[in-house]
């Protein structure tokens, strides 16, 4: 993989030239940023920015005004190569809070395992309707705890809207241990790009280390290849990064979510 070429394609196609994030969202290019504005269940935030030391503070203030007027919490998705060099400090000074650093990783889908190898007692259930979306949300809570209930609710609302209004843009699956959901994951397709994004994959503690995360990557890789997508992209946590390393994903950069709550 040509690291510089893939990073340039990622920056251009996923960030600068981003399309709508889902039903009810709009992408705007204004005032030096590319931003997404949607409903309460949607991802709201700044995907890309072109600012410098002279105008960064005013651009940040404008985004705060925009999302505050809409009544939306939002994220400024800061990447390690973004400029100016002190943009993180400027966001903190403007009232943002930093969440955990993530690693942007990419692999060629066709080079990944295509057959899910599941531990005994686990089956995969495609997420296609409201009932299975609820199971996916329960899997999220099993993995991350009740403290993540609000995020789980937002994800469920977004996935249900996508399945209803743009079903070709998403694939979701939940791993079931009997009648109990223990891991949920989804893949979002970026139209007119070579990239499909992998999201989720958190596993209930008692089922970790048994290969479920890897199996769900393989499940989605096979679908991505069948649909003609070349790359799979993940914003990886410290827990998932070693697994993805072993599968053959390469690191492009890092990204940190900076969150502003009106």
Residues forming a β-bridge with 199: 186
Over residues 55-66, the pLDDT tens digits come to: 999 999 999 999
- Residue 20: which region, alpha, beta or left (left: phi > 0; alpha: psi -120 to 50)? beta
Give the pLDDT confidence of 7-33 residue by residue, as tens digits: 999 999 999 999 876 678 899 998 899
The pLDDT of residue 150 is: 86
Band of pLDDT at residue 149, cut at 50, 70 and 90: confident
The band of 218, judged by pLDDT with boundaries at 50, 70 and 90, is very high
Q: Which of 90, 180, 173, 71 is nearest to 132 (CA)?
A: 173
Mean pLDDT to the nearest integer, 201-230? 97
Q: What confidence score (pLDDT) does residue 148 get?
A: 79
State residue 146's pLDDT score: 80
* Residue 250 contacts residue 115 (beta carbons within 8 Å): no
Going along the chain from its start, the domains and CATH numbers come out as: 3-103 (no CATH), 108-253 (3.40.630.30)
C-alpha distances (whole Å) from 180 to each of 150, 170, 218 are: 21, 23, 21
Q: What is the pLDDT of residue 94?
A: 98
What are the beta bridge partners of residue 170? 188
Residues pairing with 103 in the sheet: 236, 254
**pTM for this entry:** 0.94
21 in Cβ contact with 36 (< 8 Å): yes
In this prediction, residue 175 carries a pLDDT of: 98
Residue-wise pLDDT tens digits, 88-113: 999 999 999 999 999 999 999 999 99
Confidence at 151, pLDDT banded by 50, 70, 90: confident
């Amino acid at each position: 993989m040509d690291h510089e070429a893939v990073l340039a394609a990622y920056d251009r196609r996923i960030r600068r030239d981003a399309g709508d994030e889902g039903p009810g969202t709009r992408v705007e290019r204004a005032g030096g940023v590319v931003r997404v504005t949607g409903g309460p269940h949607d991802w709201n935030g700044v995907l890309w920015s072109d600012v410098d030391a002279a105008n960064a503070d005013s651009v940040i203030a404008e985004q705060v005004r925009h999302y505050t007027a809409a009544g939306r919490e939002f994220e400024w998705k800061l990447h390690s190569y973004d400029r100016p060099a002190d943009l993180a400090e400027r966001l903190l000074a403007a009232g943002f809070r930093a969440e955990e650093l993530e690693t942007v990783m990419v692999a060629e889908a066709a080079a990944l395992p295509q057959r899910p190898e599941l531990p005994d007692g686990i089956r995969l259930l495609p997420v296609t309707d409201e009932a299975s979306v609820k199971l996916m949300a329960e899997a999220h809570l099993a993995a991350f705890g009740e403290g993540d209930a609000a995020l789980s609710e937002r994800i469920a609302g977004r996935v249900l809207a996508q399945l209803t209004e743009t079903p070709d843009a998403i694939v979701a699956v939940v791993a079931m241990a009997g009648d109990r959901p223990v891991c949920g994951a989804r893949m979002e397709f970026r139209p007119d790009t070579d990239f499909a994004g992998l999201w989720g994959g958190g596993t209930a503690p008692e089922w970790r280390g048994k290969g479920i995360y890897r199996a769900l990557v393989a499940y989605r890789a096979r679908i991505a290849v069948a649909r003609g997508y070349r790359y799979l992209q993940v914003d990886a946590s410290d827990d998932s990064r070693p697994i993805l390393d072993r599968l053959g994903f390469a690191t492009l950069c890092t990204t940190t979510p900076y969150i502003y709550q009106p």
